[in-house]
Amino acid sequence: MKKILFPLLITLASCSYFLDKVDQAQVTKSPVEKKLSLVFSHNLSGETHPCGCRNFPLGGLPQVAGLFAKISNDSELLYVDTGDTLFPSSVVPMSMKDSLSFAANNLALGLEQIGLKYFVPGDQDFAMGLPFLQGIANTRKFEFLIANLKDKTSLKHTPFAVIKKNKSTLFLVGLVNPDVFNGPHADLFMTPEAALPDILSNVTKAGYEKNNPFHRLIILSHAGIDNDEKLAKDYPFIDWIIGAHSQSFLRYSRDEGNVKMVQTLSKNHYIGDIKIDLNSKKQTDTYELHEVRDELEFTLAPNPMRSFIDDHKTKMNDLQIKEQAKMGMAEALHSDVPKFKTASSCIQCHQAQTDFWQKTPHSIAYTTLINVNEANNLSCVGCHSLGLNDPRGFSSQKNMVSFKKKPAKAYWDEVKKLGTHIESIRKLDESEIQKISVKWFSLDKKLGVKDNFSNVQCLNCHGIDEKHPVVKTDQKIKAEVKNKCLSCHSPDQSPEWYDSGIKVNQKFTEAYKKVSCPSIQ
């Protein structure tokens, strides 16, 4: 893939960085600039762009690129990331190995192109093993910043960086706590406690003076907030700790004496920004949190990261189709297992409930994924369908819909026509949602659909129970529905449910009233 150049990168390149080695440190000198924004991210969990189903989308490489261009208008920008970045978790299912490996490699490329300078890996970044991460370190321009590796040759890296600008000097030290690992990769690292005496000795040799008001010691830590707090207590002369791993969302710095600890929310939904006046003492440093809203993409016009994401989606879709073809063969082994009752079977006895459901966004929820080219992304499909990865449901998008006779080749093309005009399901009038849902049911009948597990259906809310009818108390039903709702309406997908000062129970109760079907008399 060709490297993408755009104004932000030109701005960064114009800084004319040149590097000198001082002991183990990397020293960066730059032209005179008054302000520096040390921006940071972490816990991206493999996300390159918003999923497409959030009410108020946040994050995404095009949006971050736009934000960085905006910040660069009046400040030099230095971008760092503190890990759990490349993969959704620390374990990669073998059935998704190809697509997730591609996504991780492409995310690393995208981060390079928006200006990532230093990277501290976390446990999720080792999900495909050390060789995979070595490949990233050897091919990308950003540097791995790790000061506590046991075997210095195991991974291409620099222990710490020294950045001299005007009166100020920044000393950046990367630390990975082995306690965050559940597997053998913990053995690659010394504990920060054991490693720090030698690290600080080398930083001092590189020129660090802890009493110099223009020297800033900044730890890039992948350890979790509890370990960061201990580090702050043990080393009170540290100026900033940029953390990760625990996904602690700090709108303001958490201070331990003079040590300021900062973390942001995951998946690039927010970017942290330590603002430094390069001609002033470190006591004047401030911290700002940037919400990465969708409109930031248009700060750059045109924004080359948009074509990057479009290309990324196309290649991911091709890989996911190939992977799911293999899953479909395994699914055939469960062909004799009785399938879940889909919404079409409920209509026969529950017309009033069906009429109500067909007016809700749940009834055409899968349309959202079709319109943002994520229809084969199983990490999204689970919350927009019924029975994913259950023998009574389906395991691949190909088998989401089954037919009484031979499959209708044009089925999904016809489905796409129903919702191609939709920008957001939530913005549609109830009557418009119902029209689309009714047309979809008619299409299923016309083309001989046997089971259609797409969209959020009756059994998504009412639990998966083969016994029917089942008499349960309203309280028990509500508890079951709440568990189902919160499994998809998580803090990540529905942050408005979890906003400070608003209890999630209150938000659930409001939503429960909106989606509750008419009672059966």
512 — pLDDT class (breaks 50, 70, 90)? confident
More confident residue, 511 or 454: 454
At residue 428, does pLDDT exceed 80? yes
User: Taking the CA of residue 101 as centre, how many other CA atoms within 13 Å lie in the half-sphere pointing to its CB?
Assistant: 14
At residue 433, does pLDDT exceed 80? yes
Calculate the alpha carbon distances from 336 to 116, 326, 340, 350, 406 in Å.
Answer: 51, 19, 12, 28, 18
What confidence tens digit (pLDDT) does each residue in 55-98 have? 788 999 999 999 999 999 999 999 999 999 999 999 998 889 99
Distance CA 376, CA 175 (A): 37
Contact yes or no for 346/458 (Cβ under 8 A): yes
Among all chains, which residue has been given the structure tokens 């207590």?
233
Mean per-residue pLDDT, 488-497: 78
More confident residue, 227 or 408: 227
Phi–psi pair at 436, nearest 5 degrees: -65, -45
Contact yes or no for 413/375 (Cβ under 8 A): no
The rounded percent of the chain whose pLDDT value lies above 70 is: 89
At residue 408, does pLDDT exceed 50? yes
Taken as a whole, the chain contains a residue count of 521
Tokens read off for 396: 């691949």
Among all chains, which residue has been given the structure tokens 């199983």?
378
Distance CA 117, CA 133 (A): 16
Could you say which DSSP state residue 387 is in?
-
Mean pLDDT of the residues in the chain: 88
Task: Give the orientation angle of helix 61-71 with respect to helix 304-331, to 10 degrees.
Answer: 160
Tell me how crowded residue 174 is: count the other CB atoms within 10 A of its CB: 29
Calculate the alpha carbon distances from 264 to 81, 245, 314 in Å.
Answer: 11, 11, 30
Tokens read off for 415: 């489905």
What confidence tens digit (pLDDT) does each residue in 19-37 have? 333 344 455 544 446 899 9
Could you say which DSSP state residue 388 is in?
B
Q: Where is average pLDDT lowest: 26-35, 109-118, 422-431?
A: 26-35
43 — pLDDT class (breaks 50, 70, 90)? very high
Helices (H), 338-471: 343-346, 351-357, 366-371, 378-381, 411-419, 430-446, 458-462
∠ at Cα 261 (48, 195), nearest 5°? Answer: 95
At residue 13, does pLDDT exceed 70? no
Tell me how crowded residue 436 is: count the other CB atoms within 10 A of its CB: 19
Range ranked top by mean pLDDT from 254-258, 322-326, 371-375, 387-391 = 254-258
Distance CA 228, CA 259 (A): 10
Calculate the alpha carbon distances from 170 to 25, 39, 115, 234, 239 in Å.
Answer: 12, 14, 18, 20, 10
What confidence tens digit (pLDDT) does each residue in 331-358 have? 655 567 888 999 998 888 888 999 999 9
Distance CA 291, CA 61 (A): 13
Residues 6+ apart with CB under 8 A from 425: 361, 364, 365, 367, 368, 433
Give all domains of the chain, ordered by start, each with its CATH number.
22-299 (3.60.21.10), 338-470 (no CATH)
Contact yes or no for 426/361 (Cβ under 8 A): yes
Distance CA 282, CA 271 (A): 21
∠ at Cα 396 (391, 400), nearest 5°? Answer: 80
What confidence tens digit (pLDDT) does each residue in 203-239 have? 999 999 999 999 999 999 999 999 999 999 999 999 9
Tokens read off for 266: 């995951």
Residues 6+ apart with CB under 8 A from 82: 40, 41, 42, 120, 122, 220, 221, 222, 242, 243, 244
Distance CA 431, CA 437 (A): 10
Tokens read off for 456: 């959020």
The rounded percent of the chain whose pLDDT value lies above 90 is: 65
Helix/strand/coil (H, E, C) string of 156-205?
CCECEEEEEECCEEEEEEEEECHHHCCCHHHHHECCHHHHHHHHHHHHHH
More confident residue, 458 or 31: 458
Distance CA 133, CA 155 (A): 8
Q: What is the pLDDT of residue 389?
A: 87
Q: What is the pLDDT of residue 483?
A: 84
DSSP, collapsed to helix, strand or coil, labels residue 75 as: coil
Tokens read off for 363: 């009834």
DSSP E strand boundaries for 180-335: 215-222, 240-242, 254-256, 259-262, 270-277, 286-291
Task: Give the orientation angle of helix 97-113 with respect to helix 304-331, to 10 degrees.
Answer: 170
Tell me how crowded residue 128 is: count the other CB atoms within 10 A of its CB: 19
Q: What is the pLDDT of residue 22?
A: 35
Q: Where is average pLDDT lowest: 173-187, 411-425, 495-509?
A: 495-509
Distance CA 297, CA 303 (A): 7
